[in-house]
Structure 1
Amino acid sequence: MSDVLIIGAGVIGMLTARELRIAGAEVTLLERGELARESSWAGGGIISPLYPWRYPDSISQMARASQQLYATLCDELHGSTGIDPEYTVSGLLIQNQDELDPARHWASRYGQRMSVVNNSAITELEPERENPPGQALWLPDIAQVRNPRLLQALAEDLQQRGVHIKTQTPATGLALGDGHMQGIHTPDGLVSADITVLAMGAWTGAFSRMLPSPVDIRPVRGQMLLFKGQPDVIHHMMLEENRYIIPRKDGRILFGSTLEETGFDNSVTKTTRRELGQLAIGRYPVLKDFPVERHWAGLRPAAPAGIPYIARHPQIENLFINAGHFRNGVVLGPASARLLADLLLKREPALDPTPYALNAPRG
């Protein structure tokens, strides 16, 4: 029997497994499908919350902690697996003329370089941007990862470290007794460990209804397009009116994403494909020369105010939850995993755990 059983092998589950395994724990990772094929795979990989000054301090603090870990994490994964997560400091332009004061306050508080640039400077940074906005915020130090490659590297790293990975093994129920988690029911039987961690992303809320004090997490669909472009056509990430563009090293270009309340429906729609395509080409006419290689959707795990649950369950002593990161799973992943490991292993936590407790107030 393992020391720790983690339910859910997205970026949060895998990073948590890695953190605990490095600390010496025997870890089993249980996944209902294939590794990291849901929200973790589907996102853009920007290592920053979008419009970060709109979030509570608990998100900004965790994001800053993760940003300080990411370059080393990606170097370690690349070195151990040969898979490059493509950590790239490509900078982020944000069109937002109405929130300069809160943006400046946030940047000063969290030590983030930021300047206001006019449309001629935007054109210099992004020559292919048609009719650039009159003004934008320029954050030159914001990085990105290519999240599918990050997840592939994590999966290989966990296997090398001896983490027990069970895919195609859905958790179907809980075995509880006297305030203690006895195991997880699966089609193959009961799987047990000394400690269980729920890291099931958007599915955590529904699954936790079997528990006293369930968590409030719902799925929110996001659709995305991938253009098969060429290197150096678009140079930087840019966020405008809740739609972002992300250039990859090999020339592929992501454009997205939507926010849709569709329950657990992660299908794509022709209407959204057309709308995203028209908007992308309207901003960057050069994209009409490149085919749309993929169109997909993911289900984000939305908790109130976007604040994840990272805590021991208040009524079940050997159950922890690490879920509800909404659009910020990749952004917050390293610091989130470290905090969960700190709590589980009874180490001095690197971050104040109070805002992420199950009973903490959320906006």
Structure 2
Amino acid sequence: MSSPHLSPPTNTPIIIIIGAGSIGLWTAYHLAKSRLSSESIIVLEATPSAFGATSGTCSGCIHYHFSDPHLIDLGKFSFDLWEDLATDEGFRQAVRWSSRSLLGLKKGVGSLEGLPGWFKRGRNGDHEWCADEGFLGFKNALVDPKGVGTWLEKACLDLGVQICTSTIVTAAALNDEALVAEVTVSSLDKPDKAIACTSLILACGPWTPSVYATLFPNSALRFDQVLEAGDWLLLRNPHPVAGESTIFVGLNEFVGSKLEFAGRDDGTIWICGRKIVTSSSSLPEPGKCAKADTDMASELIGRCSEFLGRDDLRAEKKTASVGLEIVETGRAFRPTSRSGLPLIAKVKPMALSESRKGNVFVNWGHGSYGLTLGPVSGRLMAQTVRQDAPDIDLSPFCLPGETLEVNLGEQIQEKPVECNNKF
């Protein structure tokens, strides 16, 4: 459903968003909800589809069970936005919304209530296990990430947003005031094209630091990210049970590292394993997908054999363990800043006069929480672009040194003020 080509009207404000994942599309959605009649909003995505990279390959957990108080505030607001949308039955069906569907597994004797029918009961070696309903708090939901992507893409298109896939931004041209005047894009076999730009928003996940460096090679600002890679499998549910399949089970406490199963009502189970801290050099090129590590994929398959099964079949002496049908595999990359908090901020050019507003923005660094924090991050970014008062205090999510003025054209030195988000 993405727009097939770029066709912004001339002589009108044009907001360009790089990235059509959760953060980019929620930003476009909230900007479009408040957009001016003469304004164009264009989303440029390197992959062939919206939610084509990290956003489409996650568990689908919606919650705010965080340790950092700033993330808790952000998460609560985002959860409220999710719940507001979930009052609409069409939205619930589109994203496969399932409330109170996140469970944990812990060692010890206790209740198994809530565990899905496709998950084994009883013992694993010498350890008994039980369900932990408070694993990610008691206000939570499970969604299908690709369902969210489909709904959000359609909502944006219905609001007049242009979404251009398989499109990479290769350059940015600055005017005499160090504001971005146009960007150059490359799209498949089409010739490069320059598009006028009045605001530029970078929301391209783990590729944000490299995209910024490419577009603004002389800027003093660089984004130092902590990059985690996680391998995942999507398999056909070998034991689907009507009404009990849409459940998330987290085994982090039980196995001592990240291990998650998310059953979906389309007959599949999504599984991811332990996180690996990696470098930006391991990222595939924009628009490309990374393959799962062979050893990690084998480890996940072993975990499936360990935990998936049905005791009712075993009791009836039927086959409880069957061959696994792997639908898809891959590796997702999730970036965070050094502070662990996302950046929702404007990059300011060097202040030479009061009229210098700046027109480059960054919405990045959400780590594993890009899906759950998408609605609030998009809303706050839209308010920042519109210069509206934000719904919550954005100082924890500022650039390093909130009053640091960054000249996109040449390196300058200014003394920064104290800020929570340091690199």
Flag whether TM exceeds 0.5 (same fold).
Answer: yes
In 1: Cα distance, 2:220 partner to 2:100 partner: 45
- 1:155 Cα shift? 1.2
2:47 alignment partner, one of 33, 38, 49? 33
Identical columns (%): 21
- 1:186 Cα shift? 1.8
- 1:31 Cα shift? 1.4
Q: Which amino acid aligns with 1:228?
A: R
1:136 alignment partner, one of 110, 132, 136? 132
CA deviations on 1:200-256 (whole Å, 9 max, x unpaired) are 111001122223312223543221112211134556322122211112123321111
Kindly report which structure 2 residues correspond to 1:345-356, keeping only aligned pairs within 5 A, or say none: 345-356=386-397
Assess if the C-alpha contact under 8 Å between 1:74 and 1:85 holds in 2: no
Cα pair distance change 1:301/1:78, threshold 3 Å: farther
Matched, 1:257 2:273: yes
Assess if the C-alpha contact under 8 Å between 1:92 and 1:238 holds in 2: yes
- 1:175 Cα shift? 1.6
Aligned partner of 1:15 in structure 2 is: 26
More off after superposition, 11-20 vs 185-194 = 185-194
Assess if the C-alpha contact under 8 Å between 1:204 and 1:217 holds in 2: no
CA deviations on 1:254-310 (whole Å, 9 max, x unpaired) are 111342326204221221111011113212334843522222222222222431110
In 1: Cα distance, 2:44 partner to 2:145 partner: 20
Assess if the C-alpha contact under 8 Å between 1:198 and 1:321 holds in 2: yes
Cα pair distance change 1:216/1:124, threshold 3 Å: closer
Matched, 1:63 2:75: yes
What SS class does the counterpart of residue 275 from structure 1 fall into?
helix
2:300 alignment partner, one of 276, 279, 285? 276
In 1: Cα distance, 2:150 partner to 2:130 partner: 40
Relative to the length of structure 1, the TM-score reads 0.84
More off after superposition, 151-160 vs 255-264 = 255-264
In 1: Cα distance, 2:100 partner to 2:334 partner: 24
More off after superposition, 172-181 vs 12-21 = 172-181
Aligned partner of 2:260 in structure 1 is: 244
Cα pair distance change 1:214/1:183, threshold 3 Å: farther
More off after superposition, 294-303 vs 228-237 = 228-237
1:226 alignment partner, one of 223, 234, 243? 234
In 1: Cα distance, 2:84 partner to 2:130 partner: 37
In 2: Cα distance, 1:218 partner to 1:183 partner: 30
Assess if the C-alpha contact under 8 Å between 1:91 and 1:236 holds in 2: yes
Assess if the C-alpha contact under 8 Å between 2:228 and 2:275 holds in 1: yes
In 1: Cα distance, 2:381 partner to 2:96 partner: 26
Aligned partner of 1:111 in structure 2 is: none
CA deviations on 1:77-115 (whole Å, 9 max, x unpaired) are 936xx9711111143223568xxxxxxxxxxxxxxxxxx
Cα pair distance change 1:2/1:269, threshold 3 Å: same
CA deviations on 1:152-188 (whole Å, 9 max, x unpaired) are 1111121121112222220112222433112222232
- 1:57 Cα shift? 1.4
What SS class does the counterpart of residue 266 from structure 2 fall into?
coil
Q: Which amino acid aligns with 2:148?
A: L
- 1:76 Cα shift? 5.5
Kindly report which structure 2 residues correspond to 1:66-215, keeping only aligned pairs within 5 A, or say none: 66-74=78-86, 78=90, 84-95=94-105, 119-122=109-112, 125-126=115-116, 128-130=119-121, 131=123, 132-133=128-129, 136=132, 138=134, 139-177=137-175, 178-187=177-186, 188-209=192-213, 210=216, 211-215=219-223
Matched, 1:3 2:9: no
In 2: Cα distance, 1:348 partner to 1:321 partner: 17
Q: Which amino acid aligns with 2:21?
A: G
Matched, 1:361 2:420: yes
Aligned CA RMSD, in angstroms, stands at 2.6
- 1:352 Cα shift? 0.8
More off after superposition, 224-233 vs 31-40 = 224-233
- 1:124 Cα shift? 6.1
Q: Determine which structure has the larger helix proportion and give its number.
A: 1
In 1: Cα distance, 2:159 partner to 2:246 partner: 36
The unaligned stretches of length 5 or more in structure 2 are 1-11, 187-191, 253-257, 285-289, 311-319, 351-357, 401-418
- 1:122 Cα shift? 2.8
More off after superposition, 298-307 vs 193-202 = 298-307
In 1: Cα distance, 2:42 partner to 2:297 partner: 38
Aligned partner of 2:410 in structure 1 is: none
Aligned partner of 1:335 in structure 2 is: 376
More off after superposition, 198-207 vs 302-311 = 302-311
Matched, 1:217 2:233: no
Assess if the C-alpha contact under 8 Å between 1:5 and 1:192 holds in 2: no
What SS class does the counterpart of residue 334 from structure 1 fall into?
helix
Aligned partner of 1:313 in structure 2 is: 347
Aligned partner of 1:108 in structure 2 is: none
Relative to the length of structure 2, the TM-score reads 0.73
Assess if the C-alpha contact under 8 Å between 2:63 and 2:140 holds in 1: yes
CA deviations on 1:327-348 (whole Å, 9 max, x unpaired) are 1000100000111111111222
Assess if the C-alpha contact under 8 Å between 1:205 and 1:218 holds in 2: no
